[in-house]
Amino acid sequence: MAQEETHDKHWLIVSDLDGTLLDHFTYSHTAVDGLLRRLDDHDIPVILNSSKTRDEMIEIRRELGNRHPFIVENGSAIFIPAGYFPQAPDGARDEAGFWVLEPGAHRKALLEYLDRDSRAHGAPYLGFANATPGQIVDATGLSLEQAEAARTRHYSEPLLWRGTDKEKQAFCARARDAGLTTLEGGRFLHLLGDTDKGRATLQLLECYRHARPGDYMVVAAGDSPNDLDMLAVADIAVIIRGPHRQPPQLEETGSRRVIISQQEGPEGWRESIAPLVE
Q: Summarize as ranges the residues that interact with Mg ion (CB under 5 A).
A: 16, 18-19, 223-224
- Nearest approach in angstroms of CB 260 to Mg ion is 15
Closest distance between Mg ion and the C-beta of residue 222, in Å? Answer: 6
Please report how close the Cβ of residue 214 comes to Mg ion at its closest, in angstroms.
Answer: 30
Q: Which of 8, 16, 43, 196 is catalytic?
A: 16
What ranges make up the beta strands (E) of the chain?
9-15, 46-49, 70-72, 77-81, 93-95, 98-101, 125-127, 156-161, 181-184, 189-192, 215-222, 236-241, 257-264
22 or 35: whose CB is closer to Mg ion?
Answer: 22
CB 52 within 8 A of CB 73: yes
The answer to whether residues 175 and 194 touch, using CB atoms and an 8 Å cutoff, is no
Closer Cβ to Mg ion, 140 or 224, answer by number: 224
Nearer to Mg ion, 18 or 102 (CB): 18
Strands 98-101 and 77-81: antiparallel
Closest CB to Mg ion among residues 98, 224: 224
Residue of this chain nearest to Mg ion (CB atom): 19
Q: Examine the residue annotation and report whether 194 is marked as an active-site residue of this protein.
A: no
The conformation of residue 141, written as its DSSP 8-state character, comes to: -
15-42 burial: b if 16+ Cβ within 10 Å, else e: bbbbbbbbbbeeeebebbeebbeebeee
CB of 242: closest distance to Mg ion in angstroms?
8
Q: Tell me which residues are annotated as active site.
A: 16
